[in-house]
Amino acid sequence: MSARIETHGLKVDKVLFDFVEEKVLPGTGVASEAFWAGMATLAHEFGPENRRLLDTRTKMQERRQRPLGLAL
């Protein structure tokens, strides 16, 4: 498992964290603290709905892969 950075209640892969810090944010005028606080807000606000949608997708894929079992 790769290293994680904890920030604002998020556990972020170190590679992603470093990329955002070193390549994305510089020159944008967005402070690191503001970016990660915003990401945490989004993750906590939309996380439960995203999980529900992913669960629905998994169930649909499982149904699609089952034989139809049609009686002819």
* 28/63: higher pLDDT: 28
Decide if 72 is inside a domain.
no
Decide if 71 is inside a domain.
no
Q: How far is CA 45 from CA 38, 41, 64, in A?
A: 10, 6, 30
Q: Report the residue count for the chain.
A: 72
Decide if 52 is inside a domain.
yes
Decide if 70 is inside a domain.
no
Tell me the residue range of the domain where 46 lies: 4-65
Give percent of the chain above pLDDT 90: 81
Taking the C-alpha atoms of residue 72 and residue 27, their distance in angstroms, rounded to an integer, is 65
pLDDT digit string, tens, across residues 10-43: 999 999 999 999 999 999 999 999 999 999 999 9
The total domain count for the chain is 1
pLDDT of residue 62: 87
Q: How far is CA 52 from CA 55, 56, 59, in A?
A: 5, 6, 11
Decide if 50 is inside a domain.
yes
